[in-house]
């Protein structure tokens, strides 16, 4: 990452020097302190003398170009535009006279010109203590304070130029650094959810594969004073188990934006694989809405790729202009990540000891959940790769245990489910009742699972194993056993009784 060595901001203050005597500029050794209130650490400020002179009755006289600027270059730049207010200026004193009558926007423009022609001579640099920066300077005059930050990956915003009359002076760094947040809308809102699983922060959720998850991004319109243009670009990246919703199938993600509660349509969405950007066009036009809420909403479907991963993530950051004096300078917010989970129920069918016993193949199961008074049956739609819940057991997906006694229901939300055995393994009794399975999960404030009834092995899918024992049924003995002999004897007895009855009936006739 490159270091940000551009101008991040300037503070220019014209300080009123309350000297008792008029001292020629060349002999002026008065010492003053410029105090900058800024609670953020990590800044470095340098002061440059723009005008030198003498203080008399609260005014600067004998004005000359200061040691911190290239006066000739500034004068040329100020006189270049046609009909410039500085057209007749030939000296620093002439320029100062024009500056004295400028309004706020005009002062901003003047400060930007000065900022382009600073010399190598600094009047002083800042010392940071107790949340303030202090710069000690010598000599009466006007000073430009430059915010220079060489820290790696430093993205905080710079303040526009501030023009005031300076002496011992305190100025506030009013730079505003934008932020962005993302939450999952209605996280864990399914009627089958265990309320204890709800994550009120909205940073994590569990849903069935095939479900649509809605996301809400929030920010505020930043203060854009001093900016001519302003870049505001939202960058969003989803993991492969999430597919952004394109309801019109036109290749465009469905995105909704409001500013201050009013629909905003002047943005461009550009998609690149699992990532997309939302670029706010002509955003500088929103300057008057500074402080108003920006709300962005869109949705994504949990797809079949989620069946083989531990968690799906959705990450957002914001890229924004961070220097009103340099249109190319950009800052970036830290990433905000939210998390989407799904779970598997794995059947472990056995007989004997649950650990060392024989695993049974051939058992068939369906899965259902109860919503209200209704049973809904699990059905996996392989065409659309999603979990569906059907009213009829005839539409249910039936799974069969393999030679390891295992069968799996995939892509499930947290909640309570029931396993119903439809076919028992050959030679074993069908289960008399259904088996209840409850999947639970709790989330940390960041949305990641901190504990769960399911287990993730090797960073894979969360699986909850349900052990189910089968017992063999009563079977007929083998040929030649005592049981067979008894059947033979009973049969012979019945034949004898029948013969006696037949003879008796004939004699009576």
321 pLDDT more than 90: yes
Secondary structure of residue 182 in the 3-state scheme: strand
Confidence of residue 336 (pLDDT cuts 50, 70, 90): very high
Tokens at 293, concatenated: 């809420």
pLDDT, mean of residues 321-346 = 91
CA 218, distance to chain mean position in Å, is 10
pLDDT bracket for residue 501 (50, 70, 90):
low
Q: Tokens 């050794």 belong to which residue?
A: 29
Residue 31's DSSP bridge partners are 138
How confident is residue 407, by pLDDT bands cut at 50, 70 and 90? very high
Domain ranges of the chain: 9-172, 181-341, 343-469, 479-509
Our measurement of the distance from residue 241's CA atom to the centroid of its chain's CA atoms, rounded to an integer in Å, reads 16
> How many other C-beta atoms lie within 10 A of the C-beta of residue 408?
16
Crossing angle of the two packed helices 92-99 and 71-79, in degrees rounded to 10: 50
Most confident of 80-94, 136-150, 297-311, 318-332: 297-311
Over residues 351-374, the mean pLDDT reads: 95
User: How high is the pLDDT of residue 496?
Assistant: 54
Type and span of the H or E element at 493: helix 482-508
- Matching CATH topology for 181-341 and 343-469? yes
Angle at 270 between CA 266 and CA 273, to 5 degrees: 155
Most confident of 194-208, 440-454, 462-476: 440-454
More confident: 27 or 124 = 124
Q: In the predicted model, what is the mean pLDDT of the chain?
A: 83
Q: Is the pLDDT of residue 199 over 60?
A: no
Split at pLDDT 50, 70, 90, the class of 156 is low
Contact, 388 vs 410, CB < 8 A?
Answer: no
For residues 9-35, average pLDDT: 47
User: Rounded to 10 degrees, what is the CA torsion of 235, 241, 245, 246?
Assistant: 90
Residue 389's DSSP bridge partners are 378
Which pLDDT tens digit goes with each residue over 350-360?
999 999 999 99
Q: Is the pLDDT of residue 6 over 80?
A: no
| pLDDT over 90, % of the chain | 56
Among 16-25, 38-47, 90-99, where is mean pLDDT lowest? 16-25
Report d(CA 80, CA 18) in Å as an integer: 35
Q: For residues 185 and 297, what is the distance between their CA atoms, to the nearest angstrom?
A: 9
Q: What confidence score (pLDDT) does residue 484 get?
A: 43
Cα–Cα distance for residue pair 396/214, rounded to 1 Å: 28
Structure token pair of residue 199: 């994550």
- The span from the CA of 232 to the CA of 492, in Å, is 98
Name 340's bridge partners: 205, 312
Report how far residue 277's alpha carbon sits from residue 319's, in angstroms, rounded to the nearest whole number.
10
CATH architecture of 343-469: Sandwich (2.60)
Q: How many other C-beta atoms are found inside a 10 Å radius of the C-beta of residue 149?
A: 20
| Per-residue pLDDT, 13 | 39
pLDDT of residue 502: 59
**Tokens 């089958």 sit on residue:** 192
Looking at residue 150, its pLDDT comes to 46
**Mean pLDDT in residue range 361-383:** 96
Convert the pLDDT of each residue in 380-404 to its tens digit. 999 999 999 999 999 999 999 999 9
CA 329 to chain centroid, in Å, comes to: 24
CB 12 within 8 A of CB 144: yes
Q: Find the mean pLDDT for residues 83-109.
A: 89
pLDDT at residue 197 in the model:
46
| Phi, psi dihedral angles at 505 (to 5 degrees) | -65, -40
Residue 498 pLDDT grade (very low, low, confident, very high; cuts 50, 70, 90):
low
Alpha-carbon gap, residue 11 to 39, rounded angstroms: 16
- In terms of Cα–Cα distance, which of 223, 112, 226 is closest to 160? 226
Mean pLDDT within 155-183: 69
Q: First CA to last CA across the chain, in angstroms?
A: 118
Asked if residue 363 lies in contact with residue 415, where contact means CB atoms within 8 angstroms, the answer is no
d(CA 491, CA 426): 30
Of the pLDDT bands very low, low, confident and very high (cuts 50, 70, 90), residue 88 is very high
Q: Say if residues 194 and 438 touch (Cβ distance below 8 Å).
A: yes
* Whether residue 18 has pLDDT greater than 80: no
Least trusted range by pLDDT, from 209-223, 289-303, 324-338, 344-358:
324-338
How many angstroms separate the CA atoms of 47 and 41, rounded? 18
Exposed/middle/buried for residue 466 (C-beta within 10 Å: 0-12, 13-18, 19+): middle
Residues 161 and 9: their CA atoms lie apart, in Å, by: 7
User: How far is residue 143's CA from residue 323's CA, in Å, rounded to a whole number?
Assistant: 20
Specify the range with the lowest mean pLDDT, choosing from 11-15, 157-161, 245-249, 373-377.
11-15
| pLDDT at residue 255 greater than cutoff 60 | yes
Query: Among 292, 439, 326, which Cα is nearest to 378's?
Result: 439
- The mean per-residue pLDDT over the stretch 245-258 comes to 89
| Residues 48 and 121: beta-carbon distance below 8 Å | yes
Topology of the domain covering 181-341: Immunoglobulin-like (2.60.40)
How far is 286 from 264, CA to CA, in rounded Å? Answer: 11
Binned at pLDDT 50, 70 and 90, residue 508 comes out as low
DSSP one-letter code for 473: P
| Residue 32 near residue 166, CB atoms below 8 Å | yes
For residue 47, give the nearest of 162, 129, 137, 113 by alpha carbon: 137
How high is the pLDDT of residue 201?
A: 55
> What per-residue confidence (pLDDT) applies to 251?
80
Give the pLDDT of residue 219.
98
What is the average per-residue pLDDT within 457-486? 70
Backbone φ and ψ of 16, nearest 5°: -80, 115
pLDDT value at residue 19: 28
CA distance 55 to 72: 24
Give dist(CA 394, CA 500) in Å, integer: 55
| C-alpha radius of gyration, the chain, whole number | 40
**Alpha carbon 121 to chain centroid, angstroms:** 45
Rounded Cα distance between 210 and 139, Å, is 71
Read off the pLDDT of each residue in 70-99 and give the average, rounded to a whole number: 92
What's the rounded Cα separation, in Å, for the pair 491 and 494?
Answer: 5
Neighbours of 508 (CB within 10 A): 6
Q: Which of 30-39, 161-170, 261-270 has the lowest mean pLDDT?
A: 161-170
In whole angstroms, give the CA distance from residue 435 to residue 346. Answer: 13
């Amino acid at each position: 990452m490159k270091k940000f060595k551009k101008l991040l901001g300037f503070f220019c203050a014209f300080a009123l020097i309350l000297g008792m005597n008029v001292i020629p500029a060349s002999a002026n050794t008065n010492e003053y302190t410029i105090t900058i209130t800024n609670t953020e650490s990590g800044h470095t400020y340098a002061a440059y003398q723009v005008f030198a002179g003498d203080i008399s009755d609260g005014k600067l006289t004998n004005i000359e170009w200061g040691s911190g600027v290239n006066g000739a270059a500034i004068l040329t730049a100020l006189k270049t535009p046609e009909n410039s207010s500085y057209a007749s200026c030939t000296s620093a004193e002439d320029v100062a006279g024009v500056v004295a009558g400028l309004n706020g926007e005009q002062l901003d423009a003047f400060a930007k010109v000065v900022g382009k022609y600073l010399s190598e001579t600094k009047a002083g640099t800042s010392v940071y203590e107790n949340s303030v920066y202090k710069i000690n300077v010598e000599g009466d005059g006007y000073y430009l304070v430059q915010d220079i930050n060489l820290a790696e990956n430093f993205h905080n915003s710079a303040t526009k130029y501030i023009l005031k009359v300076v002496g011992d002076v305190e100025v506030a760094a009013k730079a505003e650094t934008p932020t962005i947040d993302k939450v999952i809308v209605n996280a864990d809102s399914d009627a089958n959810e265990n309320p204890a699983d709800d994550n009120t922060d909205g940073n994590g959720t569990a849903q069935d594969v095939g479900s649509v998850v809605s996301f809400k991004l929030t920010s505020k319109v930043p203060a854009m004073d001093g900016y001519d243009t302003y870049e505001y670009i939202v960058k969003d990246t989803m993991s492969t188990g999430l597919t952004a919703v394109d309801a019109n199938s036109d290749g465009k993600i469905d995105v909704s934006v409001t500013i201050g509660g009013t629909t905003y349509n002047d943005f461009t969405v550009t998609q690149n694989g699992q990532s997309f950007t939302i670029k706010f066009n002509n955003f500088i036009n929103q300057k008057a809405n500074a402080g108003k809420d920006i709300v962005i909403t869109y949705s994504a479907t949990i797809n079949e790729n989620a069946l083989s991963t531990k968690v799906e993530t959705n990450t957002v950051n914001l890229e924004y202009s961070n220097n009103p004096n340099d249109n190319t300078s950009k800052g970036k917010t830290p990433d905000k990540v939210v998390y989407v989970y799904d779970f598997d129920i794995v059947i472990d069918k056995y007989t004997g000891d649950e650990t060392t016993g024989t695993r049974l193949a051939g058992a068939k199961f369906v899965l259902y959940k109860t919503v209200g008074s209704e049973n809904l049956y699990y059905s996996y739609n392989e065409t659309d790769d999603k979990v569906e819940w059907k009213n009829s057991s005839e539409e249910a997906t039936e799974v069969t245990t393999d030679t390891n006694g295992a069968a799996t229901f995939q892509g499930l939300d947290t909640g309570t489910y029931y396993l119903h055995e439809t076919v028992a393994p050959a030679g074993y009794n069908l289960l008399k009742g259904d088996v209840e399975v409850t999947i639970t999960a709790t989330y940390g404030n960041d949305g990641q699972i901190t504990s769960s009834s399911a287990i993730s092995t090797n960073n894979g899918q969360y699986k909850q194993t349900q052990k189910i024992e089968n017992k063999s049924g009563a079977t007929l003995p083998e040929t030649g056993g005592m049981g067979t002999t008894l059947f033979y004897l009973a049969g012979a007895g019945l034949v004898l009784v029948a013969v006696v009855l037949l003879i008796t009936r004939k004699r009576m006739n």
